[in-house]
């Protein structure tokens, strides 16, 4: 299908290894560098694979066209049942492109990127975490909890929603902070303006907390260490069927929600 459309395929080395592809089609080459010239990223997988691809091409204006081979597939452009039609649409360029924000997390000299969410978790064998948080330098509080989630609009329907946090429609400028099992009745989710920087401090006496981006553990935050989270505009680019609606997608994937 790609050969007929005159499209050259670049297949990442990890996919060749994972699927034991001993031979690539004549119009395909091994592509390991995300900086290689790329017009479109075609994904066959679930939300985890889609997020990984978005991070791979972050900031490069490469649209990600995803066909859902996972469970929910909230970010998918087409469903598995429409595989052939979906690939044909992708190769013809018959789609709209939606720019999505991301979050960057600064921890010491390291910086990590998240398209969906950043989460802080107490370790399973540790006591409850004590997390302090502030926005633009204004201390907002300290919460005893199992963790804290910072989500983009695209990620607000994931871990944040499970915490009772609000759903942010795609296109909303800002991000949301919510808590995992807070040991207080006053901890409430907070929607933060896009240019306001969030700081989270591990105020636990001796216990470190784990830090994850898009569900992947990336580092450990030691007691008294501070982490900075920033909103980044237009970092990921998602292909959508023409005329697709966020609200239709929300109802289709989650059913009729009661808020």
Residues in the chain: 259
Please give the DSSP secondary-structure letter assigned to residue 162.
H
**Are residues 65 and 39 in contact, defined by beta-carbon separation less than 8 angstroms?**
no
Ramachandran sector of residue 147 (left: φ over 0; alpha: ψ -120 to 50; beta: rest)? left
Tokens of residue 143, six digits: 């919460």
Strand duo 129-135 + 117-122: pairing: unpaired
Ramachandran sector of residue 186 (left: φ over 0; alpha: ψ -120 to 50; beta: rest)? alpha
**Are residues 105 and 111 in contact, defined by beta-carbon separation less than 8 angstroms?**
yes
**Are residues 91 and 27 in contact, defined by beta-carbon separation less than 8 angstroms?**
no
Q: Please return the burial class of 100, using the count of CB atoms within 10 Å of its CB with bins 0-12, 13-18 and 19+.
A: buried
Residue 47 annotated to the active site: yes
Distance separating alpha carbons of residues 52 and 73, to the nearest angstrom: 13
Distance separating alpha carbons of residues 205 and 57, to the nearest angstrom: 39
**Are residues 101 and 234 in contact, defined by beta-carbon separation less than 8 angstroms?**
yes
Specify the residue for token string 């239709």. 248
Tokens of residue 116, six digits: 């969906």
**Which of these is catalytic: 39, 47, 88, 210?**
47
Name the residues annotated as catalytic: 47
């Amino acid at each position: 299908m790609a050969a007929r459309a005159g499209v050259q395929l670049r297949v990442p080395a990890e996919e060749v290894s994972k699927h034991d592809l001993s031979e690539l089609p004549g119009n395909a080459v091994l592509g390991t560098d995300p900086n290689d010239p790329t017009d479109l990223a075609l994904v066959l997988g679930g939300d985890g694979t889609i997020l990984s691809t978005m991070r791979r091409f972050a900031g490069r204006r490469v649209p990600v066209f995803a066909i859902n081979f996972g469970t929910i597939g909230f970010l998918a452009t087409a469903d598995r049942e429409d595989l052939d039609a979906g690939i044909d649409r992708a190769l013809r360029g018959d789609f709209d492109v939606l720019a999505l924000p991301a979050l960057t997390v600064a921890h010491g000299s390291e910086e990590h990127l998240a398209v969906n969410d950043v989460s802080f978790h107490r370790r399973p064998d540790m006591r409850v975490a004590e997390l302090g948080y502030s926005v633009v330098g204004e201390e907002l509080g300290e919460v005893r909890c199992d963790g804290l989630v910072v989500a983009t609009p695209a990620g607000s329907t994931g871990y944040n929603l499970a915490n009772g946090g609000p759903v942010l429609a795609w296109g909303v400028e800002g991000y949301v902070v919510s808590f995992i099992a807070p040991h207080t009745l006053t901890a409430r989710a907070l929607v933060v303006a896009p240019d306001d920087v969030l700081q989270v401090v591990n105020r636990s006496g001796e216990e470190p907390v784990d830090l994850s981006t898009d569900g992947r553990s990336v580092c450990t935050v030691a007691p008294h260490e501070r982490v900075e989270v920033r909103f980044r505009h237009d970092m990921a680019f998602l292909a959508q069927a023409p005329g697709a609606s966020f609200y239709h997608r929300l109802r289709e994937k989650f059913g009729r929600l009661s808020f």
